Amino acid sequence: MRIISGNLKGRKINFIKNKTTRPLTDRVKENIFNLLNHSNNVGIKLENKNILDAYSGVGSFGLECISRGVKKVDFIEKDYVAYQILIKNIKDLCLEKNYETENIDLEKFLNFNKKKQYDIIFFDPPFEEILYLNNLKIIHEQKMFTKNNLLIIHREKNHKEIFPRYIKLILTRDYGRSRVYFGTFL
């Protein structure tokens, strides 16, 4: 795994693959960022954006965002092993303090940080996880998103996802066994 673009381009990212976490592959990540940069439907300028990297694992998405000049990333990961690798990745990349990390359950983080607002919210829960919808509900109820927000959800292609009415889907893309949903909170 590596950083694809920006000031950290080409730098390696440590990762793990176990039953509770799986890495966001370079291929999927590259396609997500191509859409963010070039799509008329979901295109967004990353500079000066606040990002929530929920279920962040080793931080692949958020680290890519930092490399591309975002204002700040909040990395939330409850798996201790994945969190330790995230911390190692941050240390190895010598990042400035434009991030926060929490080794905590996402629901607890959201309930303790109700006043935060994000421009881009990236959800990458374990494929078997279905309770992530409760966390989307908390974000919506607490209005933890900016007016021109973007929600990105990475799931397994074979799952039937039913999203609540307060999420407007804009675009769906499949990459191998992955499906990526782009939407917005209403």
The pLDDT of 37-63, averaged and rounded, is: 93
Higher pLDDT, 80 or 128: 80
User: How far is 142 from 145, CA to CA, in rounded Å?
Assistant: 9
Choose among 61, 31, 34: nearest CA to 49: 61
Does residue 20 carry a pLDDT above 70? no
What range defines the domain where residue 136 resides?
A: 26-185
pLDDT of residue 160: 86
Does residue 19 carry a pLDDT above 80? no
pLDDT of residue 21: 65
- Return the structure tokens found at 37: 């940069």
The pLDDT of 28-56, averaged and rounded, is: 93
Type of residue found at 66: I
CB atoms within 10 A of CB 9: 12
Counting the structural domains of the chain, the total is: 1
Report yes or no on 1 lying in a domain.
no
Asked if residue 145 lies in contact with residue 117, where contact means CB atoms within 8 angstroms, the answer is: yes
Confidence grade of residue 127 (pLDDT, cut at 50, 70, 90): confident
- Return the structure tokens found at 120: 């881009």
- Return the structure tokens found at 2: 């590596």
CA distances from 119 to 17, 26, 61, 71, 172 (A): 29, 23, 14, 10, 19
Report yes or no on 74 lying in a domain.
yes
Report yes or no on 8 lying in a domain.
no
**CA dihedral of residues 163, 169, 174, 179 (deg, nearest 10):** -30
3-class DSSP assignment, residue 48: coil
Asked if residue 147 lies in contact with residue 184, where contact means CB atoms within 8 angstroms, the answer is: no
Looking only at the bridges linking them, the beta strands covering 178-185 and 145-156 are antiparallel
The pLDDT of 26-46, averaged and rounded, is: 92
Report yes or no on 124 lying in a domain.
yes
User: How far is 155 from 153, CA to CA, in rounded Å?
Assistant: 6
Helices (H), the chain: 26-38, 60-67, 80-92, 106-112, 132-141
Report yes or no on 15 lying in a domain.
no
pLDDT of residue 130: 82
Report yes or no on 14 lying in a domain.
no
The pLDDT of 98-107, averaged and rounded, is: 96
Does residue 126 carry a pLDDT above 90? no
For residue 142, the domain's CATH number is 3.40.50.150
The pLDDT of 60-84, averaged and rounded, is: 96
Report yes or no on 133 lying in a domain.
yes
Report yes or no on 7 lying in a domain.
no
